[in-house]
Amino acid sequence: MLENYFTDSRTIYRLSNCGIFGQKMEEYAKYLHEQEFSQNTTREYLRAAAHLSRFALWQGINDLSLLNETFACQFVNEHLPNCSCERLNKGKYHSTIRGVWQVLNFLSESKIIPSPVDLIENSLIPKNPQPFKPLKPYPPIQSESGKPTPPRTDIASQAVIMGNLPESMGGIVLQYDEYLDNLFGLSKKTRDVHRLKAMLFLKWIYEEHGSDFQLSSLGTEDILKFQEMCNEYGYSNDYRKTITSCLRGFLRFLRWERIIQDDLTPAVYKLKEWKLASVPKHIPYETAMLLLSAPDRETVKGKRDYLTLLLMLQLGLRANEIIQIELKDISLTKGELFIHKTKTHRGRCLPITNEIAEAIVDYLRVRPERQQSELVLRTVRPYNPLKNSSSLGSVVRQYIEQLDLKVPSYGTHLLRHSLATHLVNNGASFKETADILGHTSIETTGIYAKVQIERLKDIALPFPCWEEVCVI
């Protein structure tokens, strides 16, 4: 039943493993469906039930019969006004309150708790709510000798960072990874990002206070100083947004484990960024097509790289989509290629051009390992499938440097943006472009409207009083 309301398997996993009420989540979803609530309302009530169940898990409750009226009032009156479990509290929790009321009705009808005769829905109103206000961000700090070199933040540096941490802090990092996996069901790639940012924060704390520092002594000033350090290093806005998001998650974990008693997430300020302010980084499509001449197509590696470049330049595939392609997803007779769920959590079917079909056949004839189901494999032993998208990013960078092309950025998304820009500038509609790129919303494709220079000239408004200016 949960599949009727949520398409992301990770969300369904989190709802089903949110604590003591997770085992009843399917039945609860069916109960809400029978009440004929709208789809959006049902989603809100399911999230509210998961929120209540996580709070019960935090309180050490493992018996459904204890999710009664008294506990519901404690959740609404004490926890909600100061809650930062998922995001900064903005004081808007009316749907959560109504969702808690529905949970009580469901448990009552299931004969798990008594009927809530002494409690009406309107009484579940928090007393003196005090929503948190995000702190204003510090302005970037300019060093007199220039911006210092930031610490390494790639995945390979994790062992170095772990080696510099006290043993107690290293154990915290491992617990944090289990917390992200078991409670939230995050993928390994996402957990790696969260774990690395947590290690950077712990490394900074260790250098700031010494190895004898206890995390229970963390305060607001430590959080602000750490963010001040990130500003000083001159990180990009996107990277600092990642750091702040991961920092909030790590602080929630510390409070979940009772390592800290106070909620420090409000001290992590929110970064301001104008929506759609930037132009997609791309190069002329004719320049991007030059990359097809770079691979040596007499070798296995050259044939593989030529195929992957074709998939990026003609179908706009993401690197992660390419490494997930299996042989069963290719139909040369129908001329179709099925792309599995990736970033948008939905699959799509794309047409195969003659060039792509010939490149696939040419590569499969010399592919060293015939037993692997994946299409793209390593070209050296062991002939295993590529593990992550960074492998294809290195391929693109190699050929860009080989041809000495002037590009605004390296990586596979440069080719995806170049194809999208080419399609939009040559008459393709946003709907057609969105279908090829796999965008779930047409607004996502709308960023390419800013690169339609010739079309934008046609809709540009005349300068006020331009006739008078011309006369003068």
Give rounded-to-5 percent helix, strand, coil for the chain. Answer: 60, 5, 40
- Per-residue pLDDT tens for 104-145? 888 888 888 887 665 444 445 444 443 333 333 333 334 444
User: Is 152 annotated as catalytic?
Assistant: no
Where are the chain's structural domains?
2-123, 155-267, 285-457
346 given a catalytic annotation: no
pLDDT band for position 303 (cuts 50, 70, 90): very high
Give the span between the Cα atoms of 334 and 339, in whole angstroms: 15
- Is residue 67 within 8 A of residue 61, CB to CB? The reply is yes
What's at 61, amino acid-wise? Answer: I
In CATH, the number for domain 285-457 is 1.10.443.10
Amino acid letter, residue 396: V
> Is 343 a known active-site residue?
yes
Query: How many whole angstroms separate alpha carbon 310 and alpha carbon 295?
Result: 11
Instruction: For 5-16, write each residue's pLDDT tens digit.
Output: 888 888 888 888
| CA distances from residue 137 to 210, 227, 472 in whole angstroms, order as listed | 27, 9, 48
Give yes or no for residue 192 having a pLDDT over 60: yes
Torsion of CA 377, 436, 39, 82, to 10 degrees: 70
Q: Which residue out of 54, 304, 413, 422 is catalytically annotated? A: 413
- Catalytic pick among 303, 318, 417, 422: 318
Q: Give yes or no: 275 in active site.
A: no
Report the pLDDT averaged over residues 68-79: 83
Active-site annotation holds for 318:
yes
CA angle in degrees (0–180, nearest 5) for 376-379-380: 140
Name the fold adopted by 155-267. DNA polymerase; domain 1 (1.10.150)
What is the rounded CA–CA span in Å between residue 248 and residue 246?
A: 5
Active site residue 345: no
55-59, long-range: CB < 8 A, 24+ apart? 55/79, 55/85, 56/19, 56/20, 56/21, 57/18, 57/19, 57/20, 58/256
Q: Give the closest residue to 62 by CA, choosing from 97, 104, 91, 20.
A: 20
14-37 confidence digits (pLDDT tens): 888 888 888 889 889 988 888 777
Q: Are 200 and 244 in contact (CB under 8 A)?
A: no
152 confidence band (pLDDT: 50, 70, 90):
low
